[in-house]
Amino acid sequence: MLRAEPAWPREDLFTLLVARGKTRKTLRQATLLGPFDAAELTARMDAEAQALRGEGFLPGGLEARIQALQGTPRERALAAVRLGWRRDPAAVEPLLQAFSTAGFERSAVLDALGLIGDGRALSVARAEAEKKLLSRRRSGVEALRNLDDAEGLVLARGRALDRLPDEVRLALEAPVATAESVAAVLLALPVKEKGLALDSLYELGTPLAASTVIAALPKLELAAPHVWRYVKSVLKRSLLRRDAPVFGAVAHAIERAARKTPGTQAELKSGLDGSVRKTAVFRRLTQIYVMRLSWRHLRDLARYEPGRYAEAAAEVLARYGPEDTTEPTAIAGSLSTCHLLHRILLGRSERFELERSALLHRVRGKKPSALKKGVREESYPELWDASPGAYIRLLAAGRLREVHEFALTAVKRAHRSAVETAAAADIVAFLSAPHEETVELGLIELNRRFDPRAPDLELLQALAKDGRPAVREQTLRWLELAAPVWTRNVERTLALLDSKDGLLREAVANLAVAELPEAGAELRQALAERIARLLVAKETEPGQHDGLARVASLALLDELTPLMSLDDLIVLFATGSSGARSVAGALLGRHPEALDAIGLSRLAALGSHEVASLRESVRALLLSALPALRLDPSPLFALVESEWPDARTFALDLLRSELAPSLGRAVALGFLDSRRPEVQRLGRDLLYRDVPSLSPHEIDSIVDRLVQHPDRAVHAVALELLLLAPESERTLRPELLPLLRGTLFDLTPQRATKRGVLALLRSAALRDEASARLAAPLLSDFVGTKGRLDFEETIATLVEIRLAYPGLANRLQLVGGPTA
């Protein structure tokens, strides 16, 4: 035995105890050497160890394990597993000898050889990797991986790819394959194929494959026949690879499934002998065995590879969420069914005890007791403290309040520096933690790191990519504070404008627009050139160009104008994204040659286009073409009927203020023919301008047109024109009937118009008989009205007509007189 101890009372010096014996309990010839300083101690220990080996002594337990390789298959397998953990090269030859004679324990022996990592096992591993039997193949491939046999692994990957269903392989090889997309394809496979595909995927050993396994596990029915054996295989692979994330995911998924199902029985074909027999699948014994195996693995890690323990434990803890908790009772807490969590977080607790048959962690005593101050209940606290990064992982990914409290306590106690040195993405992840204190810690740390004069641009970019509302708010505040810095960097600005969050993108664009006038001409030019190139490219998702377009339209038009010719704009307009089209629209107004190239009529038609910036540019161009419009204002006539209010207002204002003198009577009538009230008003104003010069005949022909309009506003104009004539000259014509009948039978008429029509009927009818012939039947039809005023006026007029023209057909019957 070799043991170093501090040479009391000097703590910088050590003594070295050397003793010999067959076992720890039968040591003799003990010699105390030293004291030595630290450097000397190491050299002396090596020398003493060498001497002991020379005397034929071996590391404790090694010989016994090697001896056990000669025992029963079970003893051989257990010895091999232990030798694998010890990784002593001295065990390689015995293991190889044992492999050559091994039966069922063959895989355990090969696993051990792989873990030791000695090249002598290569040929054996390669041969096993080609086997069809899952256990042997798995051991072979994982041994190759542990032996770093690149050549053997390439062949194994090829075979694994061949085993994968086509759809999974295609999804995996897709250019933008993600863990979620491949997992979705995998989960859509028939049940019988899912398990093998999962295992084969994991056998590939690529980061994407591992992420896919993690993504697929929560949605997979582990306990199903044809699936469970492969899930178990994935667990074993993850143990051999020391793959903490996948181990955490599988161990948690198994525990969760064990809570829900007692397992099943199914007729399954054995991989070993090919016979079909009734097999228990994921029954309770298996569940307990696997859950205990998981903890055993963590315990072995703590013993043999202590540096890996905290990382693996953290990955397991991060998987637990509120859905794993149960309603607490007097004898069991909310986490009583979370075996691994209890082992890791409360492994040293005296408050709970394990009911081994059910792996249930009950409260010790009659009622739950509170945690005593300063007591640490987690297993292997020294290993946690040695890997503070594990706490950060828990804070970033943990979903359970208890897990966050554990990590926060540790961070506050002794690991504040771990937070200060953590990656930006991890701190950002703190902000979405389900524990308020963790969120606060994240905000404090981000605020500490943030310097508006020298902001952490990587951090800002990571925040911008996040997309969660809570993060967005903080990001926007910092972006605003640091705008003078990041807007001076073209790449950063473009990256931020590329954010997938529409609101953030718009805010970034607004900040850039506000800052860019202060930036140098060179930077603006460079940004404009990059934006011009980006806008021509196709959007990968709708709205991607919106931020770029906003900056371009509001801050970089001067720089972009020489960069894009009229032809470029037309192409952009025809094929570009909506953002690109809006920039093209805004730039069009800066190309005076567009007027000649496109032509006034087509340009005016574009004035009603759905892209607002194009309409604006068209308006600018039309204003520059005023002389031509004065000669021929017709291109604007279509614009007054546009469905866009801005286009209509522009055209109407221009016609009213600048072009009115060039508009004739025909145009006025055309405008009056419109259904839009504002256009009708312009038409009326233009018409009234000419009225004094119109002859009665011309007025009549205009009125004849206007009365056919269905709008009562235009009828009112027609009536006004009719009433312009002196009372003595007013007559009725059949052409006026639409106006007269339309007004009388209008359910919601303008009072003045109706009174005017009745007055016109009366005056015209009494003036000449031809008018009376028209008025009498019309009034006769209307005299049945129940409106008092209308009735009185109508009946009075009819009476007057009756008296004025006794010979005229009249519905009115005078009492005592003849009926016409």
The verdict on 747 binding other proteins (CB under 8 A) reads: yes
Do the beta carbons of residue 783 and residue 794 sit within 8 Å?
yes
Tokens, residue 32: 């105390």
End-to-end CA distance of the chain: 144
Does residue 643 belong to the site contacting other proteins (CB under 8 A)?
yes
Site stretch for other proteins (CB under 8 A), options 94-102, 225-233, 423-431, 700-708: 700-708
Pairing type for strands 14-21 and 27-36 reads antiparallel
- Based on the shown chain and the rule CB under 8 A, indicate whether residue 309 belongs to the binding site for other proteins: no
User: Between residues 402 and 546, which has the closer beta carbon with respect to other proteins?
Assistant: 546
* 713 touches other proteins by CB under 8 A: no
Say which DSSP state 735 is in: G
User: How many residues interact with other proteins (rule CB under 8 A)?
Assistant: 30
Given the complex with other proteins, which of 453 and 788 has the nearer CB atom?
788
- Tell the smallest beta-carbon distance from residue 511 to other proteins (Å): 21
Smallest gap from residue 786 Cβ to other proteins (A): 5
**Shortest Å distance, C-beta 747 to other proteins:** 5
Stretch that binds other proteins, among 91-99, 202-210, 242-250, 784-792 (CB under 8 A): 784-792
> How many Å is the Cα radius of gyration of the chain?
46
Q: Which residues lie closer than 8 Å to 800 by C-beta, 6 or more apart? A: 762, 765, 766
CA dihedral 625, 631, 637, 638 (to 10 degrees): -50
CA distances from 477 to 289, 450, 471, 507, 551 (A): 52, 11, 10, 10, 19
For residues 411 and 389, give the distance between their C-alpha atoms in angstroms, rounded to a whole number. 10
Q: How far is the CB of 795 from other proteins (least distance, A)?
A: 13
CB of 741 to other proteins, least distance (A): 4
Stretch of residues binding other proteins (CB under 8 A), selected from 125-133, 196-204, 213-221, 776-784: 776-784
CB of 12 or CB of 643, closer to other proteins: 643
- Per-residue mark of binding to other proteins, 623-642 (x: CB under 8 A): ---------------x--xx
Instruction: Give the Cα separation of 513 and 516 in Å (integer).
Output: 5
Does position 377 interact with other proteins (CB under 8 A)? The reply is: no
Between 325 and 608, CB nearer to other proteins: 608
Distance of CA 176 to the CA centre of its chain: 15
SS3 state of residue 70: coil
Among 53, 192, 412, 675, indicate the residue that binds other proteins (CB under 8 A): 675
* Omega before residue 35 within 30° of 0, cis: yes
Q: Where are the alpha helices (DSSP H) in 282-374?
A: 284-304, 306-319, 339-346
Closer of 710 and 726 to other proteins (Cβ): 710
Residue 707 Cβ, how far from other proteins at the closest point, in Å? 10
The rounded distance, in Å, linking the Cα atoms of 259 and 651 is 74
Site string for other proteins, 602-621 (x = CB under 8 A): ---x--xxx-----------
CB-side neighbour CA atoms (13 Å) of 280:
9
Q: Which of 599, 696, 787, 817 binds other proteins (CB under 8 A)?
A: 787
User: Does the footprint of other proteins cover residue 748 (CB under 8 A)?
Assistant: yes
Does residue 506 interact with other proteins by CB under 8 A?
Answer: no
314 in Cβ contact with 394 (< 8 Å): yes
For the segment 645-674, give every residue that binds other proteins (CB under 8 A): 673
**Residues 662 and 686: beta-carbon distance below 8 Å:** no
- Mask of contacts with other proteins, 21-60, x by CB under 8 A? ----------------------------------------
Smallest distance, other proteins to C-beta of residue 653, A: 19
Stretch of 163-171, 344-352, 520-528, 702-710 contacting other proteins, by CB under 8 A: 702-710
Selection from 597, 598, 624 nearest residue 609 by Cα: 598
Interaction between residue 708 and other proteins (CB under 8 A):
yes
Which residue shows structure tokens 């090694």? 62
Residues 6+ away with beta carbon under 8 Å from 477: none
Pick the stretch among 333-341, 505-513, 553-561, 782-790 that binds other proteins (CB under 8 A): 782-790
Q: Is 450 helix (H, G, I), strand (E, B) or coil?
A: coil
CB of 242 to other proteins, least distance (A): 54
* Residue 758 CB coordination number (10 Å): 23
Residues that bind other proteins (CB under 8 A): 605, 608-610, 638, 641-643, 673, 675, 704-705, 708-710, 738, 741-742, 744-748, 781-787
